[in-house]
Structure formats: C-alpha cells, structure tokens
Amino acid sequence: MVTTWNRFLIFTFYTLTLFCVFDVHAVPYDYSYTLACTPVPEEPQYDGGITVNPVFDDGLEGWVATGGATLAHAESFDGNSYAVISNTVTLGSDGISQCFNAEMDKFYTVSAWFRTNVGEATAHVKVVTSTGNKTANWIIAKAGCWTMFKGGFHVNVTEPALLQIEANTIGIDLWVDSVSLQPFTQEEWDNHQVQSIEKVRKGKVIFEVMNGLGEPMVGAVVSIIQKEPHFPFGCALNGLIVENQQYQKWFLERGFKYSVFENELKWSFTEVMQGVENYSVADAMLEFAEKNNIKVRGHNILWDDPSLEFQPVWLNQSSDELREIALKRVSSVVNKYRGRFIHWDVINENMHYNLFSGVTNNGSDVFKLVHQLDPLPIPFLNEFNVIEGVSLQSRANPWRYFQKIEQLRNAGYHGPLGIGLEGHFDYVEPNFPYIRASIDMLHAAALQIWITEFNVATLRMPWMVKYVGPLLRELHSHPYVDGIILWSTVGPSQKPPGFACYMMCYTDAHYKNQPVGDVIDGFMKDFIRVPNSNGETDAAGVFKASLFHGEYEATVTLPDGAQPPAPQMFTLMPGREGTVLLSTCAIVLSQRCFEGILPDESSVVEDVLSAVKGERRFQKLIQWFSAR
C-alpha cells in the first residue's frame, strides 16, 4: 500500500571519537607537558627514544662531561638514579653530552627533567654539529623538586652530533634525569598533523537515509554545504577598509570571520594630540566588522615598548604622572568599546619591555582595571619570539611566559587570561620541533592560545614563501591552538612601494594574489572553508564523511526522483553528538501532515518510533506521535 509513510525518510548523523591510527613502525607524537615541579621525575617520553641510558640506571654510561664541568652519578633515598653536573669555573659550554647519529631533515623532540641542589639555574639543551649549534629550549630549574624540560630541533647534516645539556650558573649543581631524544621523519611529522586534525578539528559523520518502513535508501545522494567553519581563522584589517569597496569585496569573499586592526586602535593613532581623542577610523572599521558578523580582537590598549614610533609623540615617558596618564588611556578605550571585542591585548609585548608594567604593579593593575570595566572579553598577553625562535638570551620563550603569568597572579590579578603568540617568522628557517614543543608547554597553563599576528618575512626574503603553508598546517593542526589571525594586509596604495605590508603581503595594490596569497587561499580551501561535498548511500542506506567542525546544510536527492526531505542545518562541534530527522512532512508539520495515517499502519509508526526513541532529542517528537 502506498501511503504518506513511504515518503518518510530518517537522516541521521553521529560524531564519533577518533583514535590515532599510525603505521605499525611509526611513533605517535606526545603532546603532553607537566608544568608542576614534582618530588620525583616522570618516566622519559618515548622511553628515552634513541638516548642511551636515559634514566642513569647504568651509571654514567653513554654520557660525558663537556668543558670544565665535572660529572657524577647519584641516587636518591628512594632509589632514583640521576646525573649531577657541577660547574665551578666558567659560564659557557660546560655540561653533559651524549653522541648520536644525526640525520638530515629529521625532526628531533627533546625532553628531560632537571633539579638543582640549591637556588635556581638556567638549564639549556642544544645540539652541536659541524655546522654550528642549535638551541632546543631552556627552562629554570630549582631546588627541592624536579622541573620538566621540552624542546626540539632539526639538523641539515647527516653526521655524528652531540646532544648537550648545560647549566648557565656557577656554583650550583644541576641534576639531570629522564632524558629523551626522539627523531621523526618528515612523513611521520606530517602524519602527526593529519591525525591531530582528524581528532581535534574534525568529526566522523554517518548519514543514514531510509524510507518510512525503515528500509535503507540505496543510491541516495547526500549533499553537504559548509555554512560556517568552527575554527577561528582571520586576517588583520587596516583603515582603507572603511571606504575602499574593492578591499571590502576581497575581504568578504574570503569569508574571514575574525580580525584585528593593524594600528587604528593603538594609542599613538587615537590620541595624536594629548587630550584630543579621535576614534572615528576605529569606529568605522568596527562598524564594518559588526555589520558582516566579523569578530575582532582589541589590539592594543598599552604597548610596553618605549620606542617613540609606538607611543604618542607627546608622551613624557619619565613623567611622575605616567601611571595616571596610562590608566586614563585604559579607561577611555575600554569604556568606549565595552562588550564589542572578543579579546583585549592589554599591555603589548611586556616580556620584552617594561614601560607601563613598571608603573602599574607588573601590569596587574591594568589587567584588573580592564577586566573590571569590560568583563566579557579575555584579557590577553601578547608577545613575539615565543615560538619564532629561541636562544639562551631570549627574552620570551614558554618559560618566560609562565613567569609573566605568575608575576600577574602574585601581583593580585586573578581574572581570565589568554596567551597571545604573535608568530612573526623572520630571517631564519622555522624550528618546527621547537614550535610544537613550545605550544605543548604553554598548554599546561590551561589558558586559551591564539596565534595573533601570523606572518613570514616574504617581503624581504621571497624564498621564505615555502614556509607559509607548512607553518599554517603546523599551527592549525596543533590540538592546543584556539585561533589564528594573519598579519597580512592589502590595499597598500597609501604607503611607499616596498613597504606596503609588514613582512608579508597577501595581495598587490590591485588585490591580486601574491604568491603568499595563493598559499593561504589553498590552505583555507583545504582546512577552513572547505568546498561542498557529496556522496551516495550504500546498500545499508549509509554515507560516511569526515567533516571539519562547523555549521552545515545537508540535502538528499533520491534515486527514483521522489520528493526529497527538506534541507536541514546541523552543527558539528568537538565532543558533540546529534541526530537530524529529515522528512517530506517536516516543513508542514504544523499543518498536521501525518493525518493520512490509517489505523492499520500503527505498527509502522511504532517501528519508526522505536528506531529513534533512544535519541533524547526525539522525545518531544515521540510524545507528539503518541498524542496522535
């Protein structure tokens, strides 16, 4: 018998937890890091990798002293073995080392645990080859407990090399334990990214199409249209966006839903003359953003860099009134834009500089005021050269970030915080293992992590365009990165030739892609705003797909040309499951479209209901049928 139930289709999707599946010989990457200083060191990651005698159970086998250091083996009362580095002569390359066979183009992840006998010491790990030294990272070790080190490097030679651990302190012993050196091939490294994306950026979706009798619909075409991606990926704006329709068209066509203003919100821009504030450009830019549902980061309130180019020309930096003047600026800009930004970069680059932090209780007073005036946006720290590169002289690295957070907390700010990593990759080849390890470490602070100003120095060094794609893939695939903003503006007609953009130009003056733009567009097509997709249901009436988290519209085309269910919207989010019911009657449900059901079809109704009654979201629908 042909009834209205023959046109009833059930269309379901389920998000499933994904587990990383690697080749039997591949080693999965360990993203973990322990921030707490612990009574005993943890076991080495990767069981030590290629390290010989990583936990010093065999005395000092495999290890030698370097420089003027002396090396000893020790054992704690609980039986834990470790090495002791003593340096009483000079600062430099004195420490402990182990030889290993370095291989060109491999990625090396390093971890270890350090402790001192008294006081604190800078523990520094590097690789030494015939072409020079590369720093893996550094931390501060202290007495009484063990601190985890994590870092990484890659080498451009195949030859014997030294993994070297140093303490940059005289008269303090550095204890070393649980050392791990794990190499990865390029293929393995890329596979980590793929697996991470599948696990944290995508969900496994099962579409099931059946008729009203519960029979699978074979050959039905499921079409999937992405409406909005979930992952925040955006691009900076400059003031030309206000009146330049070509610029507006270019920006909107790319679908950027997150942004930041290059300069137009900065103090030096909004108060050129003391006491005369002009927010008109920022107002117009924010109006454009809000009109087009673009979320904006507030950059920045204060800038700790004392360079004259970054401060109002009238500002007397040595004035006794500097604190009062700075807090007045804070109140002005935050009150004006209360509730309209998603983040505030509160005191920009305050690990490198100290202009305003020095007069505001390590910046704590400013963070407290910002959060008090505007409680919804997340107040961010924002810093360069945290992931871009590292040396023993670095003013900013993950450990410095931890120290700055601790300073703010100790000074009295206990509100929300965000970690801003600018990501200006300049001059040198990116150290991908260090980048990954640094973000691993920063995640231990349990704060949001955003790449806030991403660019690569392609303007001065065009050959560096080859790093743009790999860097974006590395950052996007990292499970602990919460958003990425490009610092690559367009529309350079108002600036001298050659200085149109800071480090990286997306387009030329006519909004035609530069090589960088082609790379970014390709990345977005693959990972952010993905093309429409479709597939046919199999013999079980099922079509499976792996989709990026976001908002979607799904439609079904039936093989026999029958009337399809109405298009349905669904949202795929991390850790969420759901079921969508598509029915030819759904769009006229309020008109009692099921009135044609005959009494002898009650068993069919019961079968359909039993198929879905386990899903909580159908309880109201079940109640509706029961009332019929």
CA 95 to chain centroid: 35
418: nearest Cα among 492, 346, 510: 346
Instruction: Give dist(CA 307, CA 305) in Å, integer.
Output: 6
Give the separation between CA 530 and CA 548, rounded to whole angstroms.
Answer: 8
SS3 content of the chain, % helix, strand, coil (to 5): 30, 30, 45
Burial group, residue 269, by CB count within 10 angstroms (0-12, 13-18, 19+): middle
- Amino acid occupying residue 612: V
DSSP 8-state assignment for residue 198: I
Q: Strands 448-456 and 424-425: what pairing?
A: parallel
Name, in order, each residue with C-beta under 8 angstroms of 449's C-beta and a sequence gap of 6 or more: 418, 419, 421, 439, 442, 443, 480, 481, 482
Decide if 355 contacts 318 (C-beta within 8 A). no
Query: CA distances (Å), 235 to each of 180, 500, 525, 531, in order?
Result: 38, 16, 15, 20
Query: Are 12 and 210 within 8 A, CB to CB?
Result: no
Query: Would residue 75 show up in a list of annotated catalytic residues for this protein?
Result: no
| Distance from C-alpha of 308 to C-alpha of 306, rounded to nearest angstrom | 6
- Taking each helix axis from N to C end, the angle separating 602-612 and 619-627, rounded to the nearest 10 degrees, works out to 170
Question: What are residue 111's phi and psi, to 5 degrees?
Answer: -145, 155
Residue 314 phi, psi dihedral angles, 5° rounding: -85, -5
E strand or H helix at 548: strand 542-548
Active-site residue, selected from the candidate residues 188, 422, 453, 474:
453
Number of H helices, E strands in the chain: 12, 28
Active-site residue flag, 453? yes
DSSP 323-389: HHHHHHHHHHHHHHTTTT-SEEE-EETTTT--TTGGGTTTTHHHHHHHHHH--SSEEEEEESSSSS-
Query: Which residues are paired to 547 by β-bridges?
Result: 203
Tell me which of 264, 349, 388, 474 is the catalytic residue.
349
Let me know: does 418 contact 380? Beta carbons within 8 Å. yes
Q: Is the peptide bond before 292 cis (omega within 30 degrees of 0)?
A: no
- Known catalytic residues? 349, 453
